[in-house]
Amino acid sequence: MAESDGFVPLQFDRLSDEEMLRRSGDFLTRMKQRRSVRDFSDAPVPRTVIEDAIRTAGSAPSGANMQPWHFSVVGSAELKRQIRLAAEEEEREFYQRRASAEWLDALAPLGTDAHKPFLETAPWLIVIFLKKFSSSDSGEKLKNYYTAESVGIATGMLIAALHNAGVATLTHTPSPMKFLNEILGRPSTEKPYMILVAGLPAEGVEVPAIDKKPLAEIADFL
């Protein structure tokens, strides 16, 4: 864990109202183009792009600055194959036995099923782990705080950073996900949070025609 060395001056750019409006509008336009992709090309994405996006995620705020996350970046074809086989086994159980009829009805418009070829096709799988505990430089076990909130914020920043760099993503959460600890050699104290599939969309890919709720339905200004 990185420890604080006291305080340093804040680096912050004060922008004019006009520049704030321009930047917020440009970012909104860019992010409204983001869609979850389920059909990926096997075209490569530079590792440095993934590294920069993870550095962005690692800059997220976290409870007591404990930074309770770990990102296992999988590019190995063999490991991706293992993850796909294990995930599809859990997904078959989900669709055949675990999911309620109501849940399956909600998923139907998205066209999802237990078949997950994107776990092998996409060049990168970023497996995000939530860490309940950290270690000090001396090896002392330290409790992490607000872990779900912290990892959720970091994951959102990771998705935004990848989209901003021209990388398509898909959030994938087979349940349960403990097989990821075994395949990727992560300790049992870490909880698999999400598989983030990252790459370029397949040629001619289509996505479901869905809408997002308008501002008036998701926010109050009081």
**pLDDT tens digit string along 79-115?**
999 999 999 988 877 667 666 777 667 766 766 777 8
Instruction: Check: CB of residue 180 under 8 Å from CB of residue 48.
Output: no
Does the pLDDT at position 62 exceed 70? yes
Mean pLDDT to the nearest integer, 191-197: 98
The pLDDT of residue 157 is 98
Mean pLDDT to the nearest integer, 163-189: 96
Instruction: Select, from the ranges 31-35, 107-111, 206-210, the one with the highest average predicted confidence (pLDDT).
Output: 31-35
CA 201 to CA 163: how far, in whole Å? 12
The pLDDT of residue 3 is 56
The pair of three-digit structure tokens given for residue 38, joined into one six-digit string: 């389920």
The pLDDT of residue 162 is 98
Does the pLDDT at position 1 exceed 60? no
Does the pLDDT at position 17 exceed 70? yes
Helices 147-164, 17-32: inter-axial angle, 10-degree rounding? 90
Across the chain, the runs of DSSP E, i.e. the strands, are 69-74, 124-131, 133-135, 141-143, 168-172, 190-199
Does the pLDDT at position 144 exceed 70? yes
The pLDDT of residue 98 is 67
**Other Cβ atoms within 10 Å of 146 Cβ, number:** 15
Does the pLDDT at position 47 exceed 90? yes
The pLDDT of residue 105 is 73
User: What count of Cα atoms within 13 Å lies in the side-chain half-sphere of residue 182?
Assistant: 8
The pLDDT of residue 155 is 98
Mean pLDDT of the chain: 92
The pLDDT of residue 42 is 97
Residue 139 binned pLDDT confidence (cut-offs 50, 70, 90): confident
Residue 35 binned pLDDT confidence (cut-offs 50, 70, 90): very high
Say which residues have a Cβ less than 8 Å from residue 151's Cβ, sequence separation at least 6.
68, 69, 128, 130, 193
